[in-house]
Structure 1
Amino acid sequence: MENKRALPILFAVMFLVMIGFGIIIPVLPFFAEQIGATPTQLGWLMAVYSLMQLLFAPIWGGISDRIGRKPVMLIGIAGLSLSFFLFAVSTELWMLFAARILAGFLSSANMPTTMAYVADITTPENRGKGMGIIGAAVGLGFIFGPAIGGIFSKTSLSTPFFIAGIVSAVTFVFVLLFLKESLPPEKRAVSTSGVKESRWKAFSGPTTVLYVLQFFVSFSLAGLEATFAYFAFDRAGIGTTHLGYIFMIMGFAGAIVQGGLVGQLTKRFGEGAVIQMGLVVSAIGFGLILLTDSFTTAAIFLSIFGIGNGVIRPSVSALITKRTEVGQGSATGLLSSFDSLGRIAGPPVGGALYSMQIGMPYVSGMIISVLAFILYRVYVKREQKNSITV
């Protein structure tokens, strides 16, 4: 049954979660360096978080299918808050790694459980709109979080981590008091075969293609994020301050599209058409980025890419929750894992391509977008064949 009242609450929850997460982004490298981390160790510090997300997101999603969404969300938010406070008081490198591992392990519960919650409370025709609203909350959190972190880092490098911990703690209380459980006991999965089997059951049938497609999208985006600062400086002399403005503009464009347009488009044309449109616009955006020669062109071209990329994830999420034959939590958890895998693999590959030729990450992004488009067509044919067989 659709519950429209819960969506604004979920929006606020994910916005606050991502505010807390975003606050530490501009500070983390300098804080780690202050403690004595080398650039290589910083890289591992960033990667270990994504690795934990990759491993545990499907597990938490499966657990939410059995015990409900709200308890798992509370665990994820509490873990995030605790990790921020641990980070703030860290004085040794191993303490940073311990805090980061804890953050990845527990906070990996947040995204798949939230997407599963949306699937619980929305009708199939409004599923894309619900996923888009969550995507918009994530995008806006990433816009405002780093700005807040940058401001408070002037006081002390540990201050943003304390603030992030407090924001997450407030979010925990907000969820505890105002968010109702979306999965009643009679609809919960009862499993005696363990989480692992459920996870791999989600990765079967025609929907397998959608998970791989999401990996491609995440991989190409991560490669762009890892190299665009160097590219923009080389092509247009854009420094860090103006680069921040560019990513802010891109984030706003993506959030507006996700929050307002995805629902209308998926309701009118279906998720499949929106996914294909997003891949085409992303490919065009990658191509346009190669023509960057000023702040204005960088902002416009990156925003075009961001709009195309921004409509894909909510539409893929909505389609998978409609087609999956396992619990929503298991399906969305597996999707988060493929997203994390792309974010782990994308930066080193993008950096290697950039070192070969500065335009290569964006040429490869165009190619990957085309491959993802072809993959979706494969999915359509498999779905048609499967329906005929049934």
Structure 2
Amino acid sequence: MNTKRALPILFAVMFLVMVGFGIIIPVLPFFAEQLGATPAQLGWLMAVYSLMQFIFAPMWGGISDRIGRKPVMLIGIAGLSLSFFLFAVSTQLWMLFAARILAGFLSSANMPTTMAYVADVTTPENRGKGMGIIGAAVGLGFIFGPAIGGIFSKTSLSTPFFIAGTVSAITFLFVLFFLKESLPPEKRTVRTSGTKESRWKAFNGPTSVLYILQFFVSFSLAGLEATFAYFAFARAGIGTTNLGYIFMIMGLAGAIVQGGLVGRLTKKFGEGAVIQMGLVVSAIGFGLILLTNSFVTAAIFLTIFGLGNGVIRPSVSALITKRTEVGQGSATGLLSSFDSLGRIAGPPIGGALYSMQIGLPYISGLIVSAIAFILYRFYMRKEQKTSLPV
């Protein structure tokens, strides 16, 4: 499929997927509370989704290497749509958990398959641009989705779930009729008896460092997201409305950088330089957040962090798809798995650190960013035997 046609379609697909996903974000806690969920149960309800993604993303990525990208994407989007409708009609807490588990299981097919699709249709030098475009679509979806959910929640708490299910159903039809398969039959892998072994084959060699690096990046981001609302209120009296504006500013800045600059930067300097730059800027952002004392400083400092964090994932994805010795789907699935693991571990640890001292999540984020930087330098040393730039 022609890259110029494929990437805009993929952008639209991931934007719609994330709009649907984002719609339920501001509503889910109140909907669960309405059905009797305690704060601890709500935490498990949020975590079980990431847990399912951690377990099953590599599986779906590997399946897409065998049967093609489009069928797996359709499964993931259909599962997301079904889970939203199940949420909407849930009358008991266990039904919410069932819907959330189903969503995590099936929708874990979406991100690794989309990244593998990008790897299929882009040249190595344009890989970073393609991954950045997907990152921009995800970021914009998370900006518009929660806003839509908040507006329609005034009608009823179930309405946003019906809307999210409908948006996902429309996305399913969009993929079915407009997206062409990117992996021709002759390039597909043949299933072997060692499926479990092949799933983790991507973790062998120097590339394993990149997966660990992505875990650290995801872990530190999740810890910030879980605690920043409390921190901003404690330091600057920032309420929920202004906090929404701050995250919107951060999201827009990140989407612009991912969609417009990542490709140019990786093409000119290479993915390795962009990853290191992103880690340095993220660390600076964590440090600056400690100085927050107003809405303006919170918006500026969080945006600085977001710009650094936002360029890392597309660059890591591009580099892994260039270096992997297994199928692109297996590699990107494993990357999504490590990303999910970071989102599972980040919030509880970030919350525990915050309860000890409110600045600790951001001090630890700075330290983790520094460790990730050192990890990448270690990866570069291990890759020095090759002639390819890192």
Q: Residues of 2 paired with 1:224 and 1:365: CA distance? A: 8
Q: Secondary structure at the residue paired with 2:325? A: coil
Alignment of 1:163-178 (within 5 A): 163-178=163-178
TM-score of the aligned structures, taking structure 2 as reference length? 0.98
- 2:223 matched residue in structure 1: 223
Structural mapping, 1:149-164, within 5 Å: 149-164=149-164
Task: Give the whole-Å Cα distance in 1 for the aligned partners of 2:132 and 2:186.
Answer: 28
Aligned-partner residue type, residue 86 of structure 2: L
Equivalence map 1:177-196=2 (5 Å): 177-196=177-196
Runs of 4+ in structure 1 off by over 2 angstroms are 385-388
Quick check: 1:290–1:359 contact (8 Å CA) kept in 2?
yes
What's the CA shift for 1:176? 0.1
Quote the residue 1:370 is aligned against. 370
Q: Aligned residue for 2:97?
A: 97
Instruction: Find the counterpart in structure 2 of residue 274 from structure 1.
Output: 274
- Cα distance, 1:385 vs structure 2: 3.8
Once residues 113 and 75 of structure 2 are traced to their aligned partners in structure 1, the CA distance between those partners, rounded to angstroms, is: 11
Deviation at 1:193, TM superposition (A): 2.4
State the shift of 1:386 in Å: 6.1
Following superposition, the deviation at residue 355 of structure 1 comes to 0.8
Shift of 1:201: 0.4
Q: Give the corresponding residue for 1:212.
A: 212
Partner of 2:234: 234
Q: Distance in 2 between matches of 1:114 and 1:253?
A: 23
SS of 1:191's equivalent in the other structure is: coil
CA distance in 2, matches of 1:169, 1:79: 10
Q: Secondary structure at the match of 1:54?
A: helix
In the alignment, structure 2 segments of 5+ residues that lack a partner are: none
User: What SS does the aligned partner of 1:256 have?
Assistant: helix
Structure 1 residue 2: Cα displacement: 5.7
Task: State how far apart, in whole Å, the 1-side matches of 2:387 and 2:118 are.
Answer: 26
Identity of aligned residues (%): 89
Q: Is 1:146 aligned with 2:141? A: no
Cα distance between partner residues in 1 of 2:81 and 2:229: 30
The 1-side partners of 2:255 and 2:195 are apart by 34
Q: Indicate conservation of the 8 Å contact 1:232/1:292, yes or no.
A: yes
Q: How many aligned residue pairs are there?
A: 388
CA–CA separation in structure 2 for the residues paired with 1:211 and 1:280: 18
Q: Following the alignment from structure 2 to structure 1, what is the Cα–Cα distance between the partners of residues 2 and 382? A: 30
Paired residues of 1:2 and 1:122 also in contact (CA < 8 A): no
Q: Which residue of 2 aligns with 1:18?
A: 18
**Other structure's SS at 1:5 match:** helix
Secondary structure of 2:234 counterpart = helix
TM-score by length of 1: 0.98
Q: Which amino acid aligns with 1:241?
A: T
Hey, what's the Cα distance between the residues in 2 that align with 1:73 and 1:6?
14
Cα distance in 2 for partners of 1:333, 1:194 equals 17
CA–CA separation in structure 2 for the residues paired with 1:193 and 1:387? 34
* 1:44 partner letter: W
Aligned to 1:121: 121
Give 1:191 shift.
Answer: 2.3
Equivalent position of 1:329 in the other structure? 329
Q: Is the 8 A contact 1:125 1:267 kept in 2?
A: yes
Partner of 2:107: 107
Secondary structure at the counterpart of residue 206 of structure 1? coil
Match of 2:351 in 1: 351
